[in-house]
Amino acid sequence: MSGMDIECSICNGKADALFKRIEVWSNGRWRLTTTTYRAVKGLCYLEPVRHIRYITEIDGQEASEFGPVLSSAASALKAATGAEFIYVYIYGGHIPHLHVHLAPHREGDVFYDDLVKEGIELSEEVMPPLKRLRQFRAVSA
C-alpha cells in the first residue's frame, strides 16, 4: 500500500510485537489494537493504516473518517470495559506515526485530569496567541 514507511515500527508491524498489540478491528484505512503491555486495562490504539505522522498532517479519507471512527471505537471500548470514561491521548514524540491512545479511565489509575481541573492558577503566558488561533477554520466536508 502506498503511504507506508518501512522504517516506521507501526507501518512495518514491529510495534505490534513490541507492545504486545492485538488487532481487533480494521477498515483498511484505520485499525484498532489493544495491548496487555501497558498499565491500563483495556488500553487501545487507533491509528491510520497509511503512514501519517501527526494529527496536524491528517488528510484524505482518514481525515473525514477520523471523528466517526474515534467515536465508534471509544463507544465500543466503553461498552466492553464498563469504564465510566474513555480518555483520549495523542502524544507524537515517540513513534512518528499518528496513533490515538484510548484509555478506559478508572478512579486511581495512572491517567489523570489534573491538566484541566479547576483551581490551578495559570498566567496569561500559557494562552496561545489568540489572534492567530482565531484564524482557525474547520475544514468542512
Residues at the interface with Zn ion (CB under 5 A): 5, 8, 10-11, 51, 97
Query: Closest separation between CB of residue 135 and Zn ion, Å?
Result: 30
Query: Closest separation between CB of residue 100 and Zn ion, Å?
Result: 14
List the 85-89 sheet strands across, edge first.
Answer: 21-26, 30-35, 44-48, 100-105, 85-89
- Between 97 and 101, whose beta carbon lies closer to Zn ion? 97
Query: Closest separation between CB of residue 10 and Zn ion, Å?
Result: 4
C-alpha dist (Å) from residue 122 to 38, 89, 113, 135: 32, 22, 16, 24
Q: Which three cell numbers stand for residue 35?
A: 495491548
- Between 46 and 83, whose beta carbon lies closer to Zn ion? 46
DSSP E strands: which ranges in 16-134?
Answer: 21-26, 30-35, 44-48, 85-89, 100-105
- Between 31 and 105, whose beta carbon lies closer to Zn ion? 31
Query: Closest separation between CB of residue 102 and Zn ion, Å?
Result: 19
- Between 10 and 40, whose beta carbon lies closer to Zn ion? 10
Tracing cell 515500527 back to the chain, one arrives at 9
